[in-house]
Chains A and B, each alone.
Chain A
Amino acid sequence: MQRWWYIVAALMIALAGVFAQTAPTIGLRSNTPTVHAFINARIIVAPGKTIPNGILVIRHGVIEAVGENVIIPADARVWDLKGLSLYPGLIEMVSDIGMPKPPQQQGAGGGLGGAQQQRQEPQKGAAHWNAKVLANVAAANEFQPDAKAAEKLRSQGFTLAVATPQRGVFRGTSAVVNLGDGSATDLLVKPFAAHHIALEATGGFLSGYPNSLMGTIALIRQTWYDADWYRKAHEAYNKKPAGQKRPETNASLAVLADALALKQPVMIKATDELNFLRAAKIGKEFGLNLWIFGSGQEYQRLDAIKATNVPVILPLNFPDAPSVDTPEEALNVTLEELRHWDAAPENPGRLHKAGVQIALTSAELKDAGSFRAQVRKAIERGLNADAALAAVTTTPASWLGLSARYGTLEAGKVANFVVTDGDLFVEKTNVREVWIDGKQYEVKVPPTDARGTWEMTISADPDQRGTLTLKGEVERPTGNVTWREKELRLNNVTYAAGRLSFTINTDTIGWKGTMILSGMVSANEIHGVGERPDGAPFTWLASRREPAKAEPDTTKPKEPEMASLPDVFPPGEYGRPRLPAQPQNVLVRNATIWTQGPQGKLEGTDMLVTRGKIARIGKNLTAPADAVIIDATGKHVTPGLIDAHSHTAVSASVNEGGQAITAEVRIADVLDPDDIWIYRQLAGGTTAANILHGSANPIGGQNAVVKWRWGALPDELLIAGAPPGVKFALGENVKQSHFNPGGQPSTRYPRTRMGVEQIIRDRFKAALDYERDWKEWERDKTRIPPRRDLELDAIVEMLKGTRLIHSHCYRQDEILMLIRVAEEFGIKIATFQHVLEGYKVAEAITKHGAGASTFSDWWSFKIEAYDAILGNGPLMHRQGVLVSYNSDNSQLATRMNWEASKAAKFGLSEEEALNFVTLNPAKQLGIADKVGSLEVGKDADFVIWSGNPLSTFSKCEQTWVDGRKYFDVMEDAQMREQIQNERSTLIQKIHTSKRTSSGHQQAGGGAPRFRRPNEISLRSCMEGMYDEHE
């Protein structure tokens, strides 16, 4: 039966070029028959549908028949596949095969680190203005056959792959290719598969716009709008060119316009579960036919991901175990990492069980050759085996619109299949060969099994009979020869190309020295030659006496160990199985209540909370029967503290520095609800924050006003009804005084405070012009519509007063400048942020009606902060400015009450001082109708303090948001214990798994992830200041 393997080489040569139908024949034609019948095979026709002993007939690369009782055509070559299985060829949904390699990327997060930054090559043709929009790049045009990569994929049973462009944000379109040999004309099965987008900051800080995740999302959003506009503009122009400005020709937008109009598939690469949700939102906003190329972390937000109803392609790069070999390394491992290591292999199974449509990919594996092993791991950890097969056969075929031709072994389909010697996803099973378009590709042909006992005759010693015994592994046998009653060990054994060779020491049987032997192995005979120690040649023959006995498998079947810990939100430290409950009624009894409202500070008073709202405040309130009662005797209760300037809970960079005006960029797009600082800030009584874009730009991104609902989804942090806002910035940062890429001053406009004024003014004017353009178009809609510009949309909102301007500033000149510009446009600045010289122009700020959100006392960290004074807040307050103290620093935001007490040094009353971190920031953010004071009807966001909140000796004991207890010192103590237990459980599990396996480095596993680079750095001293006081 093995002989037919030797035909393979000749067959392959014969078939080469069979598809190059338009190419001229070079030399002689080749017409080797292409009709094959595979008999006695176990045929997996489709996932869940198996013929135990069947026949498959293919003709000219197409399946002609399949079944148990198929008549073998007379012209067929017959292949006996006894003991072997046939599977449909696997389909790889994401591959870089044949694609130009992307330039080297900088580290995640788009940080400043690293000397080499990606510079974009200028594009040819009608390219998009942004070098990261490469939607017109077509894999079909770029594809170059890559025999090595194809062979690697075939080794796992893949027969088709989606070749996917690798560069940019909009990466272009993919193509489906065969994984066989031949030219691109032979291999391209479908020139268009999907459009591709990568939701990640690419190229590093100096690579231009965008260089942040939120900038990337803004660019994606704007580009879809542009694509839509592009189609409409050209339609309008083509109908009536006369008198209209010709719209631009843009290859990328043209392609994307089709994607929208024809609902073509769009695949977005989402590098973690939060990016998944972000990608799904983009898909929904533009009605995209969306697929998501996932991260393997989807299980962490399973319900939310299921709710998006988006099909997902899952990588199998389960992380390696974090290093816990030494106590100091173990200390630095987070529970989040440990939990992910433990649970990641269950991602495919859990998603499938939840009803998410999944495909599996070998992309992201260090070695694509470990794909089947990783699938096996996923199956061991709960993925249904049929579902696993479907996820690489029928599912991708159906998504790609190729179900009629690929995905199953049914008559009429393309003859793409896999020959294995066992279950495809079982350890030890070999993929022996892969057939693509009816053409055979050898993968791994095991040699004849020579193991067993053989009777030997040797011409050099014709009277004696020897016994040759071979055992061990098929390809690396060991054994001995018994000859003249002596047992001689085989040395230097090799077994290759059908030839077995070995040496034996023959001292004990009469020939002093080493005898060398080799011979060709067939099923029942070995014909060999040899040389005696004295140089005399001889021949030998071995006849099989008995085959190798199946060695009993002593290894116990591996009991798959499932994830040890139940899911929590966020998925790690201080996570909970669900959000804290909202009791129907909560009664806080006998506290000193700082209402920060008209009632003032009340001693010995009760507060009743009903369904998350404050219901009553007064003495001796009666508790409803079901009320949760908190005895707060001796305690102080204040509203939850509000931080009017925060950068907590932002994924990756807080600055989109690629352009000076980035009003289209949205912090809400990149909220990270798992930032541990949320929990730590709750532990300090902070319940709400104004999350701002950084200060790199005169007009920066849009803000997000949030509550610290620890454990919630990103969008659930947002305070419903909070007026939207935007970050402005003035002074040193926007003129890039401290930013000298390559030792040269930045050339970005503006470089002076004069230019800052001009660029803001110009954008305001541009927004007015834009509004006018729209009104004009409303009058005659047959004309080319104005292009929807998300940046100008946001600025229009500012000019209408519906989007609050929060402007970073230091010096009095720039503060006054912005007031005057705003007044000229008839608008009001909502808050000046930092505003360290606000005390110098307090009357102007008051008259303008802006708020001031300042540091309590930071100064001297840069030259524009040199005149900052401790009395800034109080002095502005006395001049009638609405003042708040902010943090701009995640740690500082854990102790805002003490910041407020600094105002009390200047003779402000305690309540006035506390207003700096409660009611005043609430007013500045336009949320004082909901939070900021304890008044009937407002949200039950409150803090219970051990004593006077302005005393340094007091600490926060409980923090409530929406009538839910998000922090409690008692519960925290329990959680610490639980964290210790969970950490030790998982660290022990790593040690155990290392003892029982060769190592904890998993084949093809992924590197540990840095989910939150921002958290790693200890924010201290001056370094921190430069980073944070932007």
Chain B
Amino acid sequence: MNTNKLFRFVCGWSLLVVFFVFPATASDYHPAPKQKNPIALVGGTIHTVSGAVISGGTIIFDKGKITAIGVGISIPPGTEQIDVRGKHIYPGLIDASSNLGLLEVGLGAPGTVDAAEVGTINPNVRAEVAVNPESEQIPVARSGGVLIVATSPGGGLISGLAAAMMMEGWTWEEMTLQSGVGLIVNWPSMVFSPSPFSQQTRENFLENRENNLKAIRNAFTDARAYWTAKKAEGQKGIPYHHTDPKWEAMIPVLEGKIPVFVNANEVTQIQAAMQWAEEEKVRMVLVGGRDAWRVKDQLLAKKVPVIFTDVQNAPARRWEDYDLVFKTPALLQSAGIQFCITGDRSGSNARNLPHHAANAVAYGLPQDEALKSITLYPAQILGIADRVGSLEVGKDATLLITDGDILQITTNVEQAFVLGKKVDMRDKHKSLYNKYKEKYRQLSGE
């Protein structure tokens, strides 16, 4: 590196430091200690999700796991009893697609943004290692009942690996429920739509499309070749093959251990991705899925689950039904497609997850399905249903106490438990709310 380059390098980095803005407040709320003694929530309406709704029931959990659920069940001695009569108990809600923890403040604080790595093929980057446990969005999400979030990187064609994070813990390691729940692939747009804002011609578009499709295919064939070479390297006469971090990271995907989460909305994208996944023999989950209902037979036949993103969004086409997006979950559900519902991917809005599911109820999705679409179904699609997603004996004690139906906006989450830990329900919003209530208390001379 010559002096000139070095100078520019140093200047560049010092500029970054100057513009880095640290989150404004350091919170006084903190992660909870491990569950010390058994806890019984007594007398509430228990929405097990996987089974029937139990009225006046009791749920007991110990060492972070649910140990008993039922009506009038015996409560072991030494159990802390919490009276939840009139309250509702739900499994913690699961947001299957978000940037929470990777993007704190989008504008004006680039230092808080870790959403997309350089380059277009990044299968090796792992979301969990960059999730900031100090993110103020985490406690806010919990206040909305969201206790598990699949955080994922974005950008490029292959963005990296998503991780299922619990919204509680001192470190990202403690928060990680499951790393590598899916490899994010962003399917290139397939249909040329001329835009007054773009100079792109049909020819440019087709060339780009071809290049992008090739890049995705090449990544997978190269990774497969790498896997073959690595498998062979112990054999007689076969030399050691040097490691490649990108292709190394893709082996579990090729093995079928990790699904590909393909972001695609438009019908031709979806069909192209499905065909590609079949040819590559990888497990595909469709993320986005705006047009998914148009090819529901194929989705069903190929058993491709759908993470349906952002119910509170616009129809893509001027002529489409005003409520098309609202009713798409109902269309997928009635077709028998495995699906779940997520919000708009922004961590700051993660708390509104139940509103998206509720919105689908107003336009035809049965209420119990709406609840499943933000609990059990995302757990299944993310491959973490053995731990979370429903209230069953043996599963994590990751649950909520609310003062009403979680699908109603007016409902408040009163208490959450993550792995049996009693979560500190304070958050930035409540703290500021209380701080300024204090201001007005002082002003009124109380």
Contact = CB atoms under 8 A, between A and B. Distances in A.
Contacts of B103: 1022
B435 to A, nearest CB: 9
A904 interface: yes
Given A952-B355, A1013-B196, A979 B319 contact: yes
A862 B108 CA distance: 6
B198 interface: yes
Most buried by B among A327, A871, A890: A871
B198 A860 contact: no
A810 to B, nearest CB: 11
B7 to A, nearest CB: 18
A895 B326 CA distance: 11
A857 B352 contact: yes
B437 A972 contact: no
A861 B106 contact: yes
Contact of A875 (B319, B349, B437): B437
Nearest to A733: B107
A370 B112 CA distance: 58
Given A901-B410, A953-B362, A879 B440 contact: yes
Contacts of A864: 108
Given A843-B440, A869-B432, A976-B321, A332 B191 contact: yes
Interface in A75-124: 107-109, 111, 113-114
Contacts of A1013: 195-197
Contacts of B409: 898, 901-902, 904-905, 950, 952
A680 B137 CA distance: 31
Contacts of A423: none
B317 A109 contact: no
A495 to B, nearest CB: 39
A167 interface: no
B432 A867 contact: yes
Given A683-B322, A952-B355, A869 B23 contact: no
Nearest to A864: B108
Nearest to A652: B196
Interface string A322-335: 00000111011011
Contact of A732 (B24, B108, B344, B407): B108
B331 interface: no
A858 interface: yes
B249 to A, nearest CB: 26
Contact of A107 (B196, B265, B344): B196
Interface string B25-41: 10000000000000000
A738 B408 contact: no
A667 to B, nearest CB: 21
A185 interface: no
Interface in A873-893: 875, 878-879, 890-892
A285 B167 CA distance: 62
B15 to A, nearest CB: 12
B275 interface: no
B16 to A, nearest CB: 15
Contacts of A875: 433, 436-437
B433 A871 contact: yes
Contacts of A114: 197, 199
Contact of B318 (A573, A863, A952, A955): A573
Contacts of B367: 953
A476 B440 CA distance: 95
A860 B310 contact: no
A113 B137 contact: no
A275 to B, nearest CB: 15
A114 B200 CA distance: 10
A839 B106 contact: no
A1026 B437 contact: no
**Secondary structure call for the B interface:** loop
Interface in A929-955: 950-955
A834 B158 CA distance: 37
A839 to B, nearest CB: 5
B398 to A, nearest CB: 23
B245 interface: no
A1025 interface: yes
Most buried by B among A334, A861, A898, A952: A952
A983 interface: yes
A951 B408 contact: yes
B346 A861 contact: yes
A842 interface: yes
B103 to A, nearest CB: 7
B348 interface: yes
Interface residues on A, range: 35 or more
Contacts of A738: 107-108
A867 B25 CA distance: 9
Contacts of B186: none
Interface in B297-324: 310, 312-319, 321-323
Interface string A677-721: 001100100000000000000000000000000000000000000
B220 interface: no
A1019 B310 CA distance: 10
Interface string B348-382: 11011001001101110001000000000000000
A502 B289 CA distance: 65
Given A679-B322, A1021-B310, A862 B196 contact: no
B429 A107 contact: no
Contact of A332 (B25, B108, B193, B351): B193
B106 A1010 contact: no
A663 to B, nearest CB: 27
Contact of A862 (B105, B136, B267): B105
A705 B297 CA distance: 47
A676 interface: yes
Contacts of B363: 955
Interface string A964-990: 000000001000100100010000000
A572 to B, nearest CB: 7
A571 to B, nearest CB: 12
A958 to B, nearest CB: 14
Nearest to A860: B348
B254 to A, nearest CB: 30
A891 B314 contact: yes
B166 to A, nearest CB: 21
B415 interface: no
Nearest to A108: B196
B110 to A, nearest CB: 10
A861 B108 CA distance: 9
Contacts of A1008: 194
B106 A898 contact: no
Q: Which 9 A-B pairs have the closest CB atoms?
A: A952-B358, A863-B108, A862-B107, A860-B348, A869-B429, A871-B433, A113-B197, A1010-B196, A334-B318
24 contacts: A334-B317, A572-B318, A683-B322, A738-B107, A839-B432, A840-B436, A842-B436, A861-B107, A867-B428, A870-B429, A891-B312, A898-B409, A902-B409, A905-B410, A950-B409, A951-B408, A952-B362, A953-B358, A979-B319, A1010-B195, A1016-B193, A1019-B314, A1020-B310, A1022-B99
Given A972-B321, A972-B322, 13 more contacts: A328-B190, A328-B266, A335-B318, A572-B319, A737-B107, A738-B107, A843-B440, A863-B107, A866-B23, A867-B24, A871-B433, A875-B437, A1018-B265
